Structure 1
Amino acid sequence: MLIHIPSVPLLHRTDIAVVGSGSAGVTAAIAAAREGKRVTLVERYGFLGGTSTGVLDTFYGFYTPGRAARKVVGGVPDDMLRRLYAEKAAFERPNTFGAGTGITYDPETLKWVWEDLATEAGVQLLYHSFCTDVVMDGNKVAGIVTDGKRGLMRIDADVVIDCSGDADVAFRAGVPFERAGEGSAAQTLTTTFRLANVDGERAKQVPRKRLVEMMKEANRSGRYHLPREEGSIHATPVAGVMLAIMTRLDGYDPCDPVSLTAAEIEGRRQVREYVRFLVNEVPGYEQARLVALSTQIGVRETRRIYGEYRLTKEDVTAVRKFGDTIGQCGAPIEDHHGGNDTHWEFLPEGAAYDIPFRSLVPQQAEGLLVAGRCFSATHEAHASCRSMAQCMAMGQAAGVAAAIAAGRDALPRHVDIGQVQQRLVDTGAILYDWQSRDGTE
């Protein structure tokens, strides 16, 4: 018998409800809607994109690192990139740390690009709403409860896709998970910021190695306190504007609003210190002015669910292939641990491993898929596969699988993976030689 939460009014019924509109969620919603399904996308802010529009301005993971970059993500993300390029709002650039070609874009343009793609596909958007609970029918997630200015509202759905980043839906549905920091250190948080009025030509004359030396010298002088000594700052599509990824906050819990509040305050305090350092010490920044802070602090990992398969460090470093692949990743393990540096571990030149569909299928709950940085992976594997391009690949696969399940009144874990893979390939996703693989590893 379907159990509804008492006194919560029904907003509407939909085939698929997607919670969170970051790189995974917006891609999942578009992919599912393009399969002809009714899709509702729930987002806590008033715009789409999550981290891609609220924190950062560069997509990583589209290409493998190395001398001959190979593209490993396609489909819905390509449609988004084409529109950015058409607006002259994106360009490719090498990664500061050698992690492969990145695609830097204007986040403000991306907000309406994502929105246009979603509305054109027929996605029903619900902004300014949190998912605060789930509707359960036994062990099946049969809907979600949202909270906003109108109060609590219920959305019933055949399939729910959790793209919240923090596994909010899965957590409330009783799915087992690992909290970042349990058993291994959690990746740190970062408040990003933008500076305008930068003399780009002079700033380019300061190589990264020299910038790192200047940070170390600044700390040794006692005049500055810079928690991270090897952050990056780079050009954007807007002339004279640079984006900095420099702050580092360790020991905070992003799933606790009290702790997250303290982190937001500390992040902005650190920004002021880095701005002071850049303006006073680094050529090209003498007239720079702070013009923007990230909408919220950047969070790298919180809850990681336990799925039917858990991607591991060994899978990453061995470049493992899976019969149920739904995407590719060639990104290195990029662990922003506590301290003033970052741990990097690279794959072989030009290599990419598979992301198995089973890592999107949670244990102990039906009617639910998970995509994005809360998918099933160990800390080390997550540090490789959390790039926004891979989140898009996961979201696209989850959207297609959810559409197939909803169309047949089936459970997502029971969909024909071959059918999912064929639809992904047909719509532009990149799954290398998947048809030649026998079974799964």
Structure 2
Amino acid sequence: MSVNQKSVDVLVLGGGAAGVCAAISAARSGYNVLLVESQGCLGGSRTATGVDTFYGFYTPKEQRRIVGGIPWEIAQHLVSQKAAFERPNTYGAGTGITYDIEMLKIIYERTVLDAGAELLYHTYASVVHTEDGVISRVVLANKLGLTEVTARMYIDTTGDGDIAARAGAPFEKSDVAELQSLSTIFFMANVDTTEAKKISHKELAERMKAANQSGQYVLPREEGSWHVTPHPGVIQANMVRVSGIDATDPYALTLAEVEGRQQTQQYVNFLKAYVPGFENAFLISTSHHIGVRETRRILGEYILTEDDVVNGRKFEDGIACCGAPVEDHGAGKDTRWVYVAGDGHYHIPYRSLLPTGVNNLLVAGRCLSATHGAQASARNSAQCMAMGQAVGVAASLAIERQEAVRQIPAYRLQELLREQGAIV
């Protein structure tokens, strides 16, 4: 079998929130960037998974904005198109920016392509070749067959840490019973949202509990939520909970997709029967694929801990700020929340984006080097985008200085990020 050949400066693997910003920042630095995505759109969990709200831009209590740069630019593009609004959240992660998913797909694509990056959909990185701690090439698989891509720098934004793992970088993964649960997001139309809002979140949870006790419903999560969207009468619901799944196992993930859609029907029927305003509503869609919160966590130069998070620790090599609470979606019917103390935010250190043992690879997104509890905070969308921008700049700086990614000075990376409007 013949194998195609391609060469770029920066190869970004995974086109979710982190990968998009990594590709934009590296391309704007003047380098030849290829962004590879397995789906047919950019955004990952922000689009294909149906999570239509950016969380993490603001601290939950003071509502102080702590993320800028490319992520904020994306958010403002949505607002300028009248495709997003800030939605106060009376519990949980605080104010979010709820947007139209279809418009975000377009804005992500336009911003990536305008930056000069090349985009490739429907493609998987199947094999990673590493020699003496350096990735030499990555084999892509798609309808064309196989393509070997060589790059000067590689960025893993797959969410699952696929590239780091295949390159031989060490990682951690919680026991299956402790991994955060998966969720199938669903949308309903023809909802009388004015009437439905009269039921508080606390009362909604009580009604879920009563429905479970009736024996007519099986609702694994009893404190799920719904919210309005930019479209009148259309709501998004995050209620489904599929537990005990290792999403790096495709067989288990397939069964999770089946289970998620079955649970959706239960929750739709519950809402129609138990919540005024939903009587005439109907299901219009489920997410293209089930949402995954946690799989591999790389072992980097520093492992961010839950203690760092809840105590608001600051780092000399901090490249992003996060005020999001620990939001641990375990297997039970509730979710564990732990809030950040002190001034309400902590730093994500650059070292947590550096896999040990591989010198030309960076990671960004939910597969960062963090403990289970810390990852349950740092995985928020604004932080994933901020990490993406940081590794895109870091890759460019490493190429410019002809250094390994762990050798570039953190202060210089921070200077460049601030010049691009990031808050560090």
Normalised TM-score (structure 1): 0.94
**What's the CA shift for 1:409?**
2.6
Given the alignment of the two structures, is residue 187 of structure 1 paired with residue 180 of structure 2, yes or no?
A: yes
The residue aligned with 1:345 is: 338
d(CA) in 2 for partners of 1:261 and 1:25?
Answer: 24
| Matched-pair identity in % | 52
Gaps of 5+ in 1: 1-5, 432-441
The residue aligned with 2:421 is: 428
Superposition map of 1:207-218 within 5 A: 207-218=200-211
d(CA) in 2 for partners of 1:159 and 1:361?
Answer: 12
What CA deviation, in whole Å up to 9, does each residue of 1:421-441 have, x standing for no partner? 00100000001xxxxxxxxxx
1:7/1:175 Cα in 2 relative to 1: closer, same or farther (>3 Å)? Answer: farther
Deviation larger for 140-149 or 307-316: 140-149
d(CA) in 2 for partners of 1:381 and 1:357?
Answer: 15
d(CA) in 2 for partners of 1:15 and 1:147?
Answer: 20
Choose which of 203, 227, 238 in structure 2 pairs with 1:234. 227
d(CA) in 2 for partners of 1:126 and 1:421?
Answer: 30
Contact 2:227 2:237 in 1 (8 A): yes
d(CA) in 2 for partners of 1:284 and 1:172?
Answer: 49
The residue aligned with 1:411 is: 404
* Secondary structure at the counterpart of residue 419 of structure 1: helix
**What's the CA shift for 1:7?**
5.0
Amino acid at match of 1:153: T
* Secondary structure at the counterpart of residue 80 of structure 1: helix
* Secondary structure at the counterpart of residue 271 of structure 2: helix
Superposition map of 1:58-73 within 5 A: 58-66=53-61, 68-73=62-67
**What's the CA shift for 1:54?**
1.2
Given the alignment of the two structures, is residue 113 of structure 1 paired with residue 107 of structure 2, yes or no?
A: yes
How many equivalent pairs are there? 423
What CA deviation, in whole Å up to 9, does each residue of 1:330-361 have, x standing for no partner? 11111000110000111126411111000000
The residue aligned with 1:78 is: 72
Amino acid at match of 2:354: V
Given the alignment of the two structures, is residue 380 of structure 1 paired with residue 373 of structure 2, yes or no?
A: yes
d(CA) in 1 for partners of 2:343 and 2:227?
Answer: 25
d(CA) in 1 for partners of 2:144 and 2:170?
Answer: 31
Given the alignment of the two structures, is residue 322 of structure 1 paired with residue 311 of structure 2, yes or no?
A: no
Normalised TM-score (structure 2): 0.98
Contact 1:142 1:159 in 2 (8 A): no
d(CA) in 2 for partners of 1:317 and 1:205?
Answer: 33
d(CA) in 1 for partners of 2:131 and 2:2?
Answer: 17
The residue aligned with 1:15 is: 9
Given the alignment of the two structures, is residue 304 of structure 1 paired with residue 300 of structure 2, yes or no?
A: no
* Secondary structure at the counterpart of residue 277 of structure 2: coil
**What's the CA shift for 1:205?**
1.2
d(CA) in 2 for partners of 1:156 and 1:299?
Answer: 29
* Secondary structure at the counterpart of residue 16 of structure 1: strand
Given the alignment of the two structures, is residue 360 of structure 1 paired with residue 372 of structure 2, yes or no?
A: no
1:136/1:98 Cα in 2 relative to 1: closer, same or farther (>3 Å)? Answer: closer
1:155/1:125 Cα in 2 relative to 1: closer, same or farther (>3 Å)? Answer: same
* Secondary structure at the counterpart of residue 47 of structure 2: helix
Superposition map of 1:137-216 within 5 A: 137-181=131-175, 185-216=178-209
Contact 1:70 1:350 in 2 (8 A): no
**What's the CA shift for 1:65?**
0.9
**What's the CA shift for 1:151?**
1.2
What CA deviation, in whole Å up to 9, does each residue of 1:123-177 have, x standing for no partner? 1001100111113232201331111111111111000000000000001000000
Deviation larger for 152-161 or 131-140: 131-140
Contact 2:179 2:246 in 1 (8 A): no
d(CA) in 1 for partners of 2:342 and 2:396?
Answer: 36
Contact 2:63 2:94 in 1 (8 A): yes
d(CA) in 1 for partners of 2:171 and 2:187?
Answer: 35
Given the alignment of the two structures, is residue 401 of structure 1 paired with residue 394 of structure 2, yes or no?
A: yes
Structure 1 runs (4+) greater than 4 angstroms displaced: none
d(CA) in 2 for partners of 1:204 and 1:318?
Answer: 35
Contact 1:201 1:284 in 2 (8 A): yes
d(CA) in 2 for partners of 1:349 and 1:362?
Answer: 30
Contact 1:65 1:101 in 2 (8 A): yes
**What's the CA shift for 1:99?**
2.0
1:350/1:201 Cα in 2 relative to 1: closer, same or farther (>3 Å)? Answer: farther
* Secondary structure at the counterpart of residue 137 of structure 2: strand
